[in-house]
Amino acid sequence: MAATVAVDIGELNMPDDIDSVNHAGIAVRNLSEAAKRYEAMGFTMTPLSVHYGSAKPGEPVSAMATGNQCIMFPHNYVEVLGILNPGRPDWGVGDAIKRFQGAHIICFGCQRAETVHRRLSEAGIKTSGVIALQRDVETEDGVRTARFDCVHFDRSTTPEGFIQAARHRNPEYIHQSRYMTHKNGARALSDLMLLVTEPESYANKYEQLTGQKARRDGKCWRIDLPLVSRLTFIGPNEIGAELPGSLFPPTPSIAGLGFTVTDPGYVADLLKSAGIQHARRDGRVVVPAEEALGAALYFVAP
């Protein structure tokens, strides 16, 4: 892992800077089958949407290889994506799926992508610059184009996945109320668990990336983001106690996604009725990675 730059975190995070996990991305081999699986776990899925984007800052947008269906919440969401147009640009998603099916993307939310790019550049961290992305979205008023300003972080320093930050120009097209009620009672993507060999070192790196302080919590390290979501960094010897199961992605990687739900017991009953294996652990209900397309899901009370 590349060394991080020693910078006063208190001076890094600026107005309009990173405030949340805007979304996490789970890359799958069969998108339609994946959507059915997540629906069986009690999530409402959005309709299929194809991505469009520019390869470099200032270039026009064009159709990309990927498309998605999403699990929406008021302030963030989970993107389930797959390859729909093979041969088109895919930002490496196709290669990631070949490595393993599971969580490969963290996109932080911000109010101004240029602010994130400038802060990281001043700290000596490379980015793509601000890139334009868009995708068409079905709304109750017809098809609308949702546009985003995105900053991709240097992949050589983030082998755990495609790490980026984005500003949504049209959040009302993405966070539609009709998709935010879930049978399992999920209210938010509240936690991402990263499996890494050196949790403290990785937490320090993400201090630089997010501009937010890390704290030790037992054998884990965590970063709480101001608006919504927490990052948890955990080692290989400890993750089995947190996420029971037999399938874990290679280190470093995004191993699990946590959701705040109204009643974890109700979720357990729903999963049982759907024939989906799960476990109870310290008040949480956990669907292991082998049952959830490569990334464990866990459900916790507020």
Query: Which pLDDT value is given to residue 7?
Result: 38
Query: Which pLDDT value is given to residue 52?
Result: 80
Q: Give the C-alpha separation, 290 to 293, whole Å.
A: 6
Query: Which pLDDT value is given to residue 204?
Result: 97
3-state secondary structure 233-273: EECHHHHHHHCCCCCCCCCCEEEEEEEEECCHHHHHHHHHH
Residues 101, 30 contacting (CB under 8 angstroms): no
Query: Which pLDDT value is given to residue 59?
Result: 75
Domains 9-179 and 186-300 agree in fold: yes
Q: What is the pLDDT along the chain (302 residues), one digit of tens a residue?
A: 333 333 344 344 557 999 999 999 999 999 999 999 999 999 999 999 888 877 667 777 788 899 999 999 999 999 999 999 898 888 889 999 999 999 999 999 999 999 999 999 999 999 999 998 888 888 999 999 999 999 999 999 999 999 999 999 999 999 999 999 999 999 999 999 999 999 999 999 999 999 999 999 999 999 999 999 999 999 999 999 999 999 999 999 999 999 999 999 999 999 999 999 999 988 999 999 999 999 999 999 99
Distances (CA, A) of 155 to 46, 92, 126: 29, 11, 9
Q: Give the C-alpha separation, 69 to 79, whole Å.
A: 6
Query: Which pLDDT value is given to residue 6?
Result: 36
Q: DSSP letters along 172-232, please?
A: HHHS-GGGS--TT-EEEEEEEEEE-S-HHHHHHHHHHHH---EEEETTEEEEE-SSB-EEE
Query: Which pLDDT value is given to residue 8?
Result: 41
Query: Which pLDDT value is given to residue 5?
Result: 35
Residue 58: how many other CB atoms lie within 10 Å: 9
Q: Give the C-alpha separation, 175 to 71, whole Å.
A: 10
| Tokens linked to 275 | 């024939």
DSSP 2: P
Q: What angle do CA 126, 131, 137 make, to 5 degrees?
A: 140
Topology of the domain comprising 9-179: 2,3-Dihydroxybiphenyl 1,2-Dioxygenase; domain 1 (3.10.180)
Q: Which residues pair with 112 in a beta bridge?
A: none
Query: Which pLDDT value is given to residue 280?
Result: 94
Handedness of CA 106, 47, 144, 29 (dihedral sign): positive
The full set of domain ranges for the chain reads: 9-179, 186-300
Residue 252: asked if its preceding bond is cis (omega within 30°), the reply is yes
Q: How is domain 186-300 classified at the architecture level of CATH? A: Roll (3.10)
Give first-to-last CA distance, the chain, whole Å.
Answer: 34
